[in-house]
Structure 1
Amino acid sequence: MTITLEKPLIKWRLAEVMARQRMGGRELAKALGLHETSVSRLRNAETMPRIDGEQLNALCRALQCKPGDLIQYVPDAPIPTATTE
């Protein structure tokens, strides 16, 4: 018997939310008190970066959005696991 598990993937959608709000990296960096390079790294990440609750709250406040707007669950292809008999 082969057991397969779904590998979850959390897609980071900051770039989409920024575009929808018509907010550029410089403007968001100023609102967050971050360097533009830091915002660029956050914006270009494909999967959710490791950020704490305060950072997520600041992003949501600056972009007038909810945390769910910034992340999307996308199930990946099943991963084959060990066969059991």
Structure 2
Amino acid sequence: MLKCHLSRIMGEQKLKIADVSRDTGINRGTVTRLYQETAVRVEFEVLETLCRYLKCEISDLLEISPDVDQ
């Protein structure tokens, strides 16, 4: 399972979904789905834009965690 830490990172930087969407040009719905971890797919360009904006590495944003079923 892939875990997205966008909500934690945004919280640490005191950012709102609207701020990130406005400042990066990423669709608000895309940011919301990543924030709520409901996204099923995401474009590399979006990930790169988020990492540059948040000044973080991709490994800070995404993590592979073991499936509960395994």
TM-score (norm 2): 0.79
What corresponds to 1:10 in structure 2? 2
* Contact 2:4–2:62 (Cα < 8 Å) also in 1: yes
Q: RCO greater where, 1 or 2, for CA within 8 Å and sep 6 or more?
A: 1
Match among 56, 68, 76 for residue 67 of structure 2:
76
Which structure would you say has the larger Rg?
1
Tell me the percent identity. Answer: 29
Q: CA RMSD in A?
A: 1.9
What corresponds to 1:33 in structure 2? 25
Q: Which segments of 5 or more consecutive residues in structure 2 lack a partner in the other structure?
A: none
Q: Which segments of 5 or more consecutive residues in structure 1 lack a partner in the other structure?
A: 1-8, 80-85
Amino acid at match of 1:62: Y
Question: How many residue pairs end up in the alignment?
Answer: 70
TM-score (norm 1): 0.68
What corresponds to 1:5 in structure 2? none
